[in-house]
Chain A
């Protein structure tokens, strides 16, 4: 049994989730508070990966990141090489593909907080960053948890995008979903079973933990 694709998927999901929480939090905060006219277009861009076929996203990413694409030229010019068919390329693709799964739960969690706790914190002497860390983050904790779990699970389940820009390089871009597909193609059902069952078990455990923790958090916070 070859566990490398399984571990690679876990690593990709973990790195993607960390990056998305860092990038998605300010974006979701801005979307939850901004009144600018360009809020809706940006909201739509964030939601695009939800409705586009993964192959379409993968295709455009391939063009953009490839040696002839604008991003590809930039990374090449910086001496970083091009991103397609590398692990870093998968991370970039996953971040874009899973962005709405982080931004949307965070945005709803931030909107649900309302202005009142922030105004109260301001009159109690807390500056903007202080307010965010001591009021917004704890009150939005269920949102952060949902965002992290969804991003993690969604990245593990990725297939189309990865096939388009990552290919099938063992140890570099051959993630779980691609490996299962490969095994089935070559009628290696036992290997496909092993990886699929591991995946099924992991997904189930993650969701149980999510509902447990979220249930506890929201119960404690009812007003």
Chain B
């Protein structure tokens, strides 16, 4: 399949208008990211054919919508996961999973029910009715059910928004492992930067029904005039496991240019790993002190600064390999350190989370 996904929609709904023209890669995960009311879900529903808007929708060579062309939702090879799972209450888990699979011609099936059951750990749930499942279990079934339609395009509409923290972590884990098996591109709607950073290869920032920005998640989420200033402000660093420190029970993660120690995680050396660092957990210093309890001190360069209010300042930093990092400091500290773009400083990282 070449050409990826092309989605162009125009729509007016009362005071809200949607006007987007997107070309998305044919592989990997694209996160549609933005505040509520920005039109993410509507856009996703238009792509699936659940909502009719003027425009054009194409995956690869297959045209689903164009001038004079409208393929109804049930004839589109699309897998859709709803925020509330939308399982069939009258069917048990197995029959929910097989509902879509049975409706795909055998020659088009690329996955068997058993595979989805194994990937998502659904074995113990097969005989149960949706009413007896937890929110997280329901969402896992919904993901399996969507995968089993052998879709050309997978769409997920804030699948984790209604879940508690633990279930959210579980499902994110499943989705991350799924990432490499994904038979089709995935478009994932979320308003949580953490989910976007963890899952997405590609990020589209939506605001008021318009595409405000798009690109690599790490860059977009730390852009000072974009999402970072309004949200909690955190950066995600990509690296791999460098070594396990058995004596101090630490795992060191990084690249050739930087290294961060985290409490020991059971990961093989060389495995890819992502670390999330909150802006409020990063302080800055002009020299690398070794008389501090802070373990992770990295040389960085100031990239950009922006005032967050009368007292606070958000600083975007670059590691030696160019990955961005955010620090939230007081304006007074910024003044004392004489921070200007290009200045070399040390970032002291109080806490990190492996994601």
Which A residues have a C-beta under 8 Å from some C-beta of B?
116-117, 119-128, 130-131, 134-135, 138-139, 141, 220-223
Contact = CB atoms under 8 A, between A and B. Distances in A.
B129 A117 contact: no
B78 interface: yes
B90 A138 contact: yes
B9 interface: no
A123 B146 contact: yes
Given A139-B90, A223-B130, A122 B73 contact: yes
Given A125-B149, A126-B74, A120 B130 contact: no
Given A123-B79, A138-B90, A116 B74 contact: no
A124 B75 CA distance: 9
B79 A117 contact: no
27 contacts: A116-B82, A117-B88, A119-B82, A119-B86, A120-B86, A121-B74, A123-B48, A123-B73, A123-B76, A123-B78, A123-B79, A123-B80, A123-B100, A124-B145, A125-B74, A126-B74, A126-B99, A126-B103, A127-B72, A131-B74, A135-B90, A139-B89, A141-B90, A220-B129, A221-B131, A222-B89, A222-B131
Interface of B: 48-50, 72-76, 78-80, 82, 84, 86-90, 99-100, 103-104, 129-131, 145-146, 149
Given A222-B131, A223-B130, A120 B88 contact: yes
B205 to A, nearest CB: 26
Contacts of A128: 74
Contacts of B89: 117, 139, 221-223
Contacts of B145: 124
Q: Select the residue from A124, A127, A130, A138 with max chain B CB neighbours within 10 A.
A: A124
Contacts of A131: 74
A206 to B, nearest CB: 24
Contacts of A130: 74, 103
B75 to A, nearest CB: 8
Contacts of A139: 88-90
A122 B76 CA distance: 9
B50 A122 contact: yes
Contact of A120 (B72, B76, B80, B103): B80
A116 B76 CA distance: 18
Contacts of A138: 90
Contacts of A126: 74, 99, 103
A141 B87 CA distance: 17
A117 B86 contact: yes
A131 B72 CA distance: 13
B64 to A, nearest CB: 12
A122 B72 CA distance: 8
A119 B131 contact: no
Contacts of B87: 120
A220 B91 CA distance: 10
A221 B86 CA distance: 14
Given A125-B100, A126-B99, A141-B90, 17 more contacts: A116-B82, A119-B50, A119-B86, A121-B99, A123-B48, A123-B50, A123-B76, A123-B78, A123-B149, A124-B103, A124-B145, A124-B149, A139-B89, A220-B129, A222-B131, A223-B130, A223-B131
A120 B88 CA distance: 8
A127 B74 contact: yes
Contacts of B100: 123-125
A126 B104 CA distance: 10
Nearest to A221: B89
A123 B88 CA distance: 13
A120 B82 contact: yes
Q: Select the residue from B50, B73, B100, B131 with max chain A CB neighbours within 10 A.
A: B73
A141 B91 CA distance: 13
